[in-house]
Amino acid sequence: MARTRVGFIGLGLMGAPMASNIAKAGWNVTAWNRSSAAFEGLTVKRAASVAELRDEDAIFFMLPDLPYIEEASADLLESWRNEPPKQGTAVVIMSSVSPTAVSLFGEAVHKASGGNAVVVDAPVSGGTEGARSGSLAIMVGATQSRFDALKPLLETMGTTVRRMGPLGSGSLAKACNQLIVGTTTAALAEAAELAERSGLDVEALYEVLSGGLAGSRVLDNVGPRLSAKDYAPTGPAKFMHKDLAFVLTSAEAVGSAVPMASAAIDLYAELKRQGLGDQDLAVVRQTIANLSQPPAATKNSH
């Protein structure tokens, strides 16, 4: 894809640095965001509406879930019904969404655009640090030709960019990613609570675990926040519950057992019930602490 015009919708904790990295790489980026404060410090143009982005070569969405994307894109699709966009326009969904629902959204976009616009799902992993450094992992659902055209653009945001299959495959890969991240974070939180209540130093525990088979990128990234009980949001924990629901739905469709996901979704539902959903994923440790009981009373030996 030639370095021309790009639209970007959603300048949150992830979206703002992602849009900035595209612009730094030489693309002309015009963005839309509900609040104006998100544009401070960004070298991108501001669109008055999403529909104003109708003639961009690629339009990226980085919003919390597909219903938000459908709402934000309503005027855009109506504009295309009246006057179809240029052939080959790419609508790139970088949010974590349902694999089934994104395929249905692809059909709606195809119909509204007269077949001229194509939806690609390209969810990301790597958190806010990966978004800032341009080192995200990007999982893409698209035809091979569409992927090849978009890859140089996606590589401005990520260092691991892979085509997983047709539309919906990227979202399924992200669901698998979240299954691993969500359950691993919960296990680390559970270990931290057990260790601390037993008199161990959690930071020392994580250090020795990182040198053995239990070491992982999740431990490296989330471990410091878990041990420090630092729950300042790098991304709201409530979204993990949403993502695990996609795992369960996808598993049901193919008859795959997912006992870990089933247990984890109950835990993250409890996290939301405790009112902790807007804090960092590491707050699952507090959820577990709130479920824990006081130490058993020492029996009288006399």
- Beta partners for 300? none
Our measurement of the distance from residue 198's CA atom to the centroid of its chain's CA atoms, rounded to an integer in Å, reads 35
Torsion of CA 289, 290, 291, 295, to 10 degrees: 60
Catalytic option among 24, 86, 151, 174: 174
CB atoms within 10 A of CB 33: 22
Q: Looking at residue 257, what DSSP letter applies?
A: -
CA distance 215 to 208: 9
CB atoms within 10 A of CB 4: 11
Angle at 101 (CA atoms; ends 64, 132), nearest 5 degrees: 30
Active site residue 299: no
CA distance 243 to 277: 13
Taking CA atoms, 37 is separated from 7, 34, 62, 200, in Å, by 18, 9, 17, 44
108 closest CA partner among 72, 143, 81, 144: 81
Beta strands in 104-178 (DSSP E): 117-121, 124-125, 136-141, 158-165
Are 98 and 67 in contact, with CB atoms under 8 Å apart? no
For residues 206-244, one letter each, b for 16 or more C-beta atoms within 10 angstroms of the residue's C-beta and e for the rest, the string is: beebeeeeeebebbebbbebbbeeebeebbbbbbbbbbb
Active site residues: 174
